[in-house]
Amino acid sequence: MQDSSTAKYPPLPLIQTWVWMMTQSETPEIQAKGQSNLIASFGSLAKANEYLLAQKTQ
């Protein structure tokens, strides 16, 4: 398993789109797809959140 320093993540705008899908869309299917994409890329929503917070501080 890769640690976060060597992991290859999708481009930041795509990640932000998935977060928008999950949090702002009123369509349950779109919300679920955004969540599914984040979990598939990061392993958990918590890891995705950690990554996004780290990007803000750079």
pLDDT tens digits along 13-37: 999 999 999 999 999 999 999 999 9
Q: Taking the CB of residue 57, how many other CB atoms lie within 10 A of it?
A: 5
Domain-wise residue ranges, the chain: 12-56
- The token pair at 22 is 């999950």
| Single pTM value for the model | 0.83
The CA distance from 39 to 35, in Å, is 6
* Chain segment 32-41, per-residue pLDDT in tens: 999 999 999 9
